[in-house]
Homo-oligomer: A and B are copies of this chain.
């Protein structure tokens, strides 16, 4: 069969270099055919002279359609709400749409992972239809509202989310959900470079188990290794996507994970976390945020006028992702000074990702600190950004902002960094 006769929507088999791919054609672009595999992932295959292509029969195609599944309620099990905010985990079980997109019904997700009912009664609902790279602070508010609404009914929440900006969302939720007294578990599926199978099922099972535990925090649950052995439970504001494709890409930053969870139900805790009984007041949603906040990553040669760009556009906060212990070139100092004098709150994190910023070691950081820049200890840039938005939504008084930014509001600071937390 010739590549010119392939069209979007065809079910085909491609044989090349002794490897075999079977799936639905998503796109034909020059010599590249993008195929949606049976696992739900897409793969781009270059068609050259030695490549063989076969069409599949309609019988085979039918097998790809999801079965219907009826949910039964068990009084002995807690109620967990699965909220779907899009991402690969959504499309990994959906064969109706071709390309990976974020449209799916959450009940289908559960139908494809019947193990979930061993641990909880499942309720599900789709709340968003966006790939995570398109999410904005407005979507975070929407997600916050939907999660908070669901918390009134359920024992725990599982939120499925695209991987790309997941840690921004989990971090923001950790600030918006005040006095959180139940587990809010974000999970995902990762396009895996190392194996063909999907990680969606195990992540969903482990997340549901986590959502039935005595945890009163926003956490992220996903593969701990590239094998299907266990998932890590990570604090929502101390976790980051560290690999573009491996299934074990979400890693704890500047702390140990809260724990490990196995798909058979076993959980092992490795670190301190907040328990339900420690929360004395009612949970409420506080989604007042200031969206005029920017991140400026420093690098050698950075145009210092970038600060003017944000000052002139009326921004209220800037996160500088500095080098090392929190440094920038000194030619930026006058611009940083101007930004602060015009009322902008400027905070400092580090692009090394691991470790703490410290304005007391080198002269350049001492000078930056004297200008009024707030050094945010061991916070991730993602966490600094969402926290600054949230804090500026409540006060723009410099002294109050500084105090709140340096106060531990949701477990985001770790006072005791340990060498073995590096590259965990």
Contacts and interface: CB of A to CB of B under 8 A. Distances in A.
A57 interface: no
Contact of A246 (B313, B382, B385, B419): B419
B131 A364 contact: yes
Nearest to A191: B361
**Interface range on chain A (Cβ under 8 Å from partner):** 35 or more
A40 to B, nearest CB: 11
Interface string A409-424: 0000000010100111
Given A136-B329, A329-B136, A364-B131, A352 B309 contact: no
A177 to B, nearest CB: 18
A100 interface: yes
A246 B324 CA distance: 10
Given A352-B241, A355-B246, A134 B303 contact: no
Given A42-B362, A136-B300, A423-B423, 6 more contacts: A29-B370, A42-B360, A44-B361, A193-B355, A243-B355, A246-B422
27 contacts: A29-B366, A100-B362, A101-B363, A133-B322, A133-B330, A133-B364, A135-B329, A136-B300, A136-B301, A139-B300, A165-B299, A168-B299, A191-B325, A226-B419, A241-B352, A242-B354, A242-B423, A243-B355, A244-B325, A244-B326, A244-B352, A245-B355, A249-B352, A291-B301, A299-B385, A353-B353, A423-B424
Interface of A: 27, 29, 32, 34, 41-44, 99-101, 131-137, 139-140, 163-165, 168, 191, 193-194, 226, 241-246, 248-249, 251, 291, 293-295, 297-303, 305-306, 309-310, 313, 321-331, 350, 352-364, 366, 370, 382, 385, 417, 419, 422-424
